[in-house]
Structure 1
């Protein structure tokens, strides 16, 4: 059985198993549960373009680590996969033309050497063209993996200018993940590119973690079963959607983009509802929320699933006595912390280090108040590390780490700490 035949299911869980007759506020967790593939399942082949910054700032250990990571990725590919390697400084070079993995490709990567300036978008575009022009890869999952440590100083350098190009590439089936290395790259540009390209956004302080990140990118791409995953929320009568806790926004049609759908993953949204008081002689069960999820499968066909949240209605004393659902409380806390990261970034941009520190401290206090699962404990550790960075005036680094973590948390993906280690 191929991975593409896996059938996800949509669930909606409320923080309490009932609604209150007098009206109530309820947090809700929406999850798209995607089974892991069988060990014997065949997978679709992948085509990856690795685009590596070779500007002067990448000299020595950074470029060496990048080459080693790219070589390791090539060794992990099968004969059905395809890989290209592009390097850029002020000029762009095709180091390895798109083709099957080979010892020749590994040797070519080893010959990379540092150069001058940073034509970042030109490098990305060369990787795009390699995948666009590839023969026999119509059924491959395609990703462009961009690594840089510096500012784009040749060619386009504004996210608003390049995001439409990445969006068009994604419409053609080519996603883009961005890896920022060190403290000098433009995280705003990379964030805009990763968002439009529907890939991942990773910050690394330690280049030694590049091999783990490249491997994670490959493994994630191999598990893709759908693209353009979107969720839409439709509150019931007399119900208001008061908050999407994930730092994501719905488009004009109400759809929320979550990127690619992977086997074994559980994309989710945490949200808040407000139900108005109900008449005493009203229905004993009310419909609070309808949720739709849709994506494109391996054949580019639109798949859609729906779920409804229906709850019994209880009087106030009985409702107050109901226990809270830990999974919902935990999910809300984690997504609220992601939003606090964005607020702290805005404070840094305004030059208000004190406000940034206070925002992260409030998020940390909220997480500490919940004696919950390992994910919440890990979040406490990550927020503590961010607070240390801000308190020691490492604001540029703090902003990069927060941006990557907020981006990945919003989309239900693995977070990494400032050294690039993931949250497992």
Structure 2
């Protein structure tokens, strides 16, 4: 069983190693750093997964066939210690595979799913949630709902304001929700709200053939998870103000910023900008700028906490101006700014201002062009070029969906996918 304290530490990275006595602005990246790989001696937790498949009329044919095949392949990848339930929904909800270890009947039961009528999306999710919540003796399991849909919720609860709090309650009980939208017609705002409240992933797919890879990635992510419900909060010293949070995540009323799960090999990061007032402290003094707190639920279902302090020397402004900037901090801020440009591009599409939308993506590309080329920067350029192509060819709905999923994942330190669902270069 994973135990995160042995592998995890909280770090603070300022863009410069000092502050100006005359006052300055300073970009800072806060990171929770798990080990890059799981030690071989550690066994992964068993998983309990509810696959919830839209079988409404619009899923008929290739989409539903691909969804069933992906669910079958997922079942084949599970061990005898894992649990799986498969639920399908149109205007009614059906439990196709009861929660249990995959068996010879699992694949044949999934193959019996047939397309039907309308879309009771919440009811399908709710049965998956209740199945996992009410199951006995799975406290030590990683629990996740994989919700797949291609359309609009038109039966039962439909509003984000009604559904998201219930998804959030499930997450508090250890049941995360990942949402997979297929095609151009699903309700992206609802799926985004559910994935955000559910501490899961948000994926857009244009091709049903990518479903197997997405389901496989979800399982791999669960296998590497060592914590859930990660949150960070910043406490500022006197004379220091939080000018901006670059990640597009809304803090809670208490200032906690939710960052989702902790996975080995990924580094949850929070990029912020500080505004620091002039100080009378001398160059020999160290200035306490902020304290960052992090809390999360570990694999033993206990809350863990960490704290770190940013303390920097004070120097004269003439020397501060010439201090080198940390390239890693610059890169993280730049990538989060590119996500902000995606949001502006989405707003342009919503307002029918396609020129503004295109210009927002071009602005992000221009900023990247001035930076040293790294694999992360090159990948970001490729993704932005794809978005610009979608906008220029009038595929505005598709562009909006792809942008929405990318900025969601960027804010939480997850891998970004292109319009076909791939996260490869």
Q: What are the Cα deviations for residues 6-37 of structure 1, in whole angstroms up to 9, with x where unaligned?
A: 44101111111111121111111111001131
Residue 14 of structure 1 corresponds to 14
- Please give the alpha-carbon distance, in whole angstroms, between the structure 2 residues aligned to 1:157 and 1:98: 26
In the alignment, the residues of structure 2 paired with residue 318 and residue 282 of structure 1 have an alpha-carbon distance, to the nearest angstrom, of: 11
1:40 is paired with a residue whose SS is: coil
Q: String of CA shifts for 1:378-419, please: whole Å, max 9, x gaps.
A: 111111111111122111001100110010000000110001
CA separation in 2, counterparts of 1:325 and 1:5? Answer: 27
Q: Deviation at 1:283?
A: 5.2
Q: Distance in 2 between matches of 1:423 and 1:274?
A: 37
Task: Number of aligned residue pairs: give it.
Answer: 424
Q: What's 2:25 paired with?
A: 25
Which 4+ stretches in 1 moved above 3 angstroms?
Answer: 1-7, 280-283
Question: Any gaps of 5 or more consecutive residues in structure 2?
Answer: none
Structural mapping, 1:246-285, within 5 Å: 246-279=247-280, 281=282, 284-285=285-286
SS at match of 1:153: coil
Alignment of 1:24-423 (within 5 A): 24-35=24-35, 36-279=37-280, 281=282, 284-423=285-424
In the aligned structure 1, how far is the partner of 2:12 from the partner of 2:237? 14
**Distance in 2 separating the partners of 1:87 and 1:320:** 60
- Unaligned stretches of 5+ in structure 1? none
* CA deviation vs aligned residue, 1:138-169 (integer Å, no higher than 9, x gap): 21110000000111111122111111110111
How far has the Cα of 1:298 moved from its partner? 2.2
Distance across 2 between alignment mates of 1:203 and 1:422:
12
Q: Secondary structure at the match of 1:147?
A: strand
Give the whole-Å Cα distance in 2 for the aligned partners of 1:317 and 1:138.
Answer: 58
User: RMSD over aligned Cα, in angstroms?
Assistant: 1.4
Answer with 320-329 or 258-267: which moved more: 258-267
TM-fit CA distance, 1:264: 2.6
Q: With structure 1 as the length reference, what TM-score do the two structures score?
A: 0.97
Shift of 1:219: 1.0
Shift of the alpha carbon at 1:275? 1.1
Q: Distance in 2 between matches of 1:148 and 1:198?
A: 18
Q: Distance in 1 between matches of 2:207 and 2:369?
A: 28
TM-score, structure 2 as length reference: 0.97
Residues 212-242 of structure 1: per-residue CA shift (max 9 Å, x gap): 1101111111222222210001122211111
Secondary structure of the corresponding residue to residue 114 of structure 1:
coil
DSSP 3-state at the match of 2:267: coil
User: 2: distance between equivalents of 1:280 and 1:118?
Assistant: 64
